[in-house]
Amino acid sequence: PFMRWRDRFLFVAEALFKSQAETGEIKGHYLNATAGTCEEMMKRAVFARELGVPIVMHDYLTGGFTANTSLAFYCRDNGLLLHIHRAMHAVIDRQRNHGMHFRVLAKALRMSGGDHIHAGTVVGKLEGEREVTLGFVDLLRDDYIEKDRSRGIYFTQDWVSMPGVLPVASGGIHVWHMPALTEIFGDDSVLQFGGGTLGHPWGNAPGAVANRVALEACVQARNEGRDLAR
């Protein structure tokens, strides 16, 4: 099989619980519930919940909006976080002649359901135009967004009581990007370092430590009034 998902879920859960016991902190891993049918997707989500892990993942464009909303309701009812991956977005939002901008896909995801979603980085591998990126980031996480055509917001958006979605900055980012990421995305965001952790010359654990120390230093500097952009 392409992925023996039960074996993978069990292997990852064992590592999570070991890490939690050693650190006293909650740990998570994006266990991918995406599957070829809604029934198989829910089977994976139920298995993850029974293992006691805190979060699962879904590719909402390849899985489809109906499947995503079903999974979002299940996760909310059962205390699971739902991370949203946007696989396949590029064939939609990078087609300038007949495509659909990611801000539309992001708003559709907020209506469908999810806790956080990949949203570009501005810096790093998946950079996008800063003001436009922050425009749809605000559309994801804020309750009320004023019209601002320079940021791609063409009408005032009032989400009323609909829950927000945290933006995830992920793709080619590492510790040297931390000041910019902290300044651009602020507190209500997820900074995800893959190669930026595993690529540390001393190994995975030092890579994780470096990211955490850099983030905490940048947050402290910002709170003390220092200009991170400089």
pLDDT at residue 62 in the model: 95
Question: Can you list the alpha helix ranges (DSSP code H) found in the chain?
Answer: 5-23, 38-51, 60-63, 65-77, 90-93, 102-112, 130-141, 178-185, 195-198, 204-223
> What pLDDT, on the 0 to 100 scale, is given for residue 230?
72
DSSP state of 164: P
**53: helix, coil or strand?**
coil
Domains of the chain with CATH codes: 5-175+190-201 (3.20.20.110)
Helix (H, G, I), strand (E, B) or coil at 49: helix
Q: What is the pLDDT of residue 170?
A: 86
Q: Which residues of the chain have pLDDT under 70?
A: 1, 124-128
Q: How far separated are the first and last CA of the chain, in Å rounded?
A: 50
The reported pLDDT for the residue numbered 94 is 85
Residue 30: per-residue pLDDT:
96
Distances (CA, A) of 73 to 11, 57, 82, 190: 26, 14, 10, 22
Contact 48, 24 (CB under 8 A): no
Output the pLDDT for position 78. Answer: 98
| Per-residue pLDDT reduced to its tens digit, 62-87 | 999 999 999 999 999 999 999 999 99
**Which pLDDT belongs to residue 68?**
98
Q: Taking the CB of residue 187, how many other CB atoms lie within 10 A of it?
A: 7
User: CA 101 to CA 98: how far, in whole Å?
Assistant: 10
pLDDT score recorded for residue 120: 82
Predicted confidence at residue 3, as pLDDT, reads 79
